[in-house]
Chain A
Amino acid sequence: MFVYADHAATTKIRPCALRAYEAAAQETYANPSSLHSAGQRAKEILTACREDIARALNADPREIYFTSGGSESDNQAILSAAHAGARKGKKKLISTAIEHHAVLHTLEKLQREGFEVVLLPVGGNGIVDPASLEREIDENTALVSVMLANNEIGTIQPVEEIGAICKRHGVLFHTDAVQAVGHIPVDVKAIGCDYLALSAHKFGGPKGVGALYAKTGAPLSPLIEGGAQEKNKRAGTEDLPSIAGMTAALKESIADMGATSKLLRHLQDKLIAGLSAIPHCALNGDRERRLPGNTSFCFEGIEGESLLLLLDDAGICASSGSACTSGSLDPSHVLLAIGRVHDVAHGSLRLTLGEENTEADVDYMLEKIPEVVAYLRSFSPVWRDLQQGKRAYIL
């Protein structure tokens, strides 16, 4: 049996996206900047894609910029807003402790340039408190950046409330919506954001392509110089096949969203209920306000990488926030931020499902995961100490 349960890492490309990709690569392969009719035909497709992406987000096509993906979009939005703020003497940036590294590392870079960066804590449920965010906003604040949904624990942030706060204070608001777009409804006007980042491969589109929504009037400076593409904001010949693939994938994701969410919520309920029966474990992130595909747990007394390797042997592709899977000494910053101590954060497991997963997949995972957890605990000195009362259970 093979179960792919790592859709938050990346997804299989949708057949409709592959067809759109192929058509653009084989038929409308000309450069959209070329004057000849073949180029103009490519430009028409590019324009149509921009309109479709804009419609999907309730934005204006002039507010959509195609990029290489979520990381580039996050980088460009944050750097643009920060540097525009600095020109007016505003050098404070507010974000959260659970952002993706595309946001955190960009903020760290700005901090080294002299910006003040405030990372708000989140509650044990993984949700940021809008009131404490509002208290941090002052006249020096250039930007607030809060992700729409978390990649590790799936929690959905109160972005509409945060958007309203930012609007009230006249502060730019960026949201990293990489995990949300194509999975839950995303409306830039309802959120009230100035920037929104998305990535195609998270919703069945090609890898290496994404988009940045930048509201009309929001400062935007290029990361890449060298041409007039994307209204001078992103040089380089447009990757039309990928853009066409992304557009097809997003349209289909949105069309199927109702049915997919229903299936994923059902599988999630079953997975959470089943895994909760394992002794001394805990669900990470809010039980209700989470992406339908995300199930994240910590199991006490075991380490995540060995869990992943054994699940892989059983044909299950999953992920973990343990230190050993990150190549660093510390476990996931997200798990630490929701109050999981190191000892249990190392024993985390993330299962992220997609529309192709079935009830049988979940049954199989619920058969294998408890087995593997019990096996690893059987020779874990930590588990032995816990069982003998030499160490207190945390979960």
Chain B
Amino acid sequence: MSLYSEKVMDHFRHPRNVGIIEDADGVGEVGNAKCGDIMKMYIKVKDGILTDVKFETFGCGSAIASSSMATEMIKGKPLSEALTLTNKAVTEALGGLPAYKLHCSVLAEEAVQAAVLDYYKRNNIPYDEADFKCALCAHAHDHDGEGGES
């Protein structure tokens, strides 16, 4: 299908870092099933470095590819660097996404932040809310308010 770039299809067909981390140091889940996308990110942290990252995603091809790409981009990096990951960077690394699929890369950015935020909270590590504007406003991004239950 030419809907997606080769890079997106590669990450969709062969997602990297799929699965869960049983003893994760931080877990972040964003999106909701009603909208058709849920991303769950698991991280292991040692000395401020993301030693392992895994994900599970319920969603379309670009959601799966965005999750996969995001894990690849942050694995082995310091937490501070992972927090600078933007949806734009994920999209660019994927060779672009159709306009109406950009929200999938936003979810990937949010999932990373949510997992790191969870790690900080579990360990009572002080953090700057400005670094988590995406994860903290995730409720504004999900679509619970739209349409109502049917």
Known: A327-B100, A342-B35, A381-B40. A305 touches B149 (CB 8 A): no
Q: Any chain A CB within 8 A of the CB of B21?
A: no
The CA-CA distance from A193 to B108 in the complex, in Å, is 52
Known: A305-B60, A327-B100, A341-B150. A382 touches B33 (CB 8 A): yes
Chain B contacts with A in 1-58, Cβ cutoff 8 A: 1, 9, 12-13, 15, 18-20, 29, 33-40, 55-58
The CA-CA distance from A312 to B2 in the complex, in Å, is 12
Contact A343 B60 (CB under 8 A): no
**Which residue of chain B lies nearest to A384 when distances are taken between CB atoms in the complex?**
B56
Known: A305-B61, A322-B60, A336-B150. A313 touches B13 (CB 8 A): yes
The CA-CA distance from A110 to B38 in the complex, in Å, is 38
Which single member of B13, B58, B60, B61 contacts A381 (CB below 8 Å)? B58
Known: A323-B35, A323-B36. A382 touches B147 (CB 8 A): no
Q: Any chain B CB within 8 A of the CB of A329?
A: yes
Residues 303-329 of chain A, each 1 if its beta carbon lies under 8 Å from chain B, else 0:
111100110110000000011110101
Tally of chain B residues near chain A (CB < 8 A):
34
Contact B18 A379 (CB under 8 A): yes
Q: Any chain B CB within 8 A of the CB of A137?
A: no
Dominant secondary structure of chain B at its interface with chain A: mixed
Q: Which of A306, A327, A336 has the most B CB atoms < 10 Å from its CB?
A: A306
Contact A343 B33 (CB under 8 A): yes
Q: Any chain A CB within 8 A of the CB of B139?
A: no
Q: Which residues of chain A are near B60, meaning CB under 8 Å?
A: 303-306, 322, 324-325
**Which residue of chain A lies nearest to B147 when distances are taken between CB atoms in the complex?**
A330
Q: Which of B15, B18, B29, B36 has the most A CB atoms < 10 Å from its CB?
A: B36
Contact B56 A342 (CB under 8 A): no
Residues 79-113 of chain B, each 1 if its beta carbon lies under 8 Å from chain A, else 0:
00000000000000000000011000000000000
Q: Any chain A CB within 8 A of the CB of B133?
A: no
Q: What is the distance, in angstroms, from B12's C-beta to the closest C-beta of chain A?
A: 6
How many pairs of A and B residues are in contact by the CB < 8 Å rule?
78
Q: Which residues of chain A are near B18, meaning CB under 8 Å?
A: 379
Contact A312 B34 (CB under 8 A): no
Q: Any chain A CB within 8 A of the CB of B121?
A: no
The CA-CA distance from A346 to B59 in the complex, in Å, is 9
Known: A323-B36, A342-B33. A329 touches B58 (CB 8 A): no
Contact A380 B58 (CB under 8 A): yes
Q: Any chain B CB within 8 A of the CB of A21?
A: no
Q: Which residues of chain A are near B100, meaning CB under 8 Å?
A: 327
Known: A313-B13, A327-B100. A306 touches B36 (CB 8 A): no
The CA-CA distance from A336 to B13 in the complex, in Å, is 30
Q: Any chain A CB within 8 A of the CB of B129?
A: no
Known: A342-B35, A381-B58. A309 touches B147 (CB 8 A): no
Contact A382 B38 (CB under 8 A): yes
Contact B36 A324 (CB under 8 A): yes
Which single member of B13, B15, B36, B63 contacts A331 (CB below 8 Å)? B36
Q: What is the distance, in angstroms, from B54's C-beta to the closest C-beta of chain A?
A: 9
Q: What is the distance, in angstroms, from B129's C-beta to the closest C-beta of chain A?
A: 26
- Name the 5 nearest CB pairs between A and B, nearest first: A324-B60, A305-B60, A346-B36, A381-B40, A343-B33
Binding site for A on B (CB under 8 A): 1, 9, 12-13, 15, 18-20, 29, 33-40, 55-64, 100-101, 143, 146-147, 149-150
Binding site for B on A (CB under 8 A): 301-306, 309-310, 312-313, 322-325, 327, 329-331, 336, 341-343, 346, 379-384
11 contacts between A and B (CB under 8 A): A303-B37, A303-B60, A305-B60, A306-B60, A309-B12, A322-B36, A324-B59, A329-B35, A341-B149, A380-B57, A381-B29
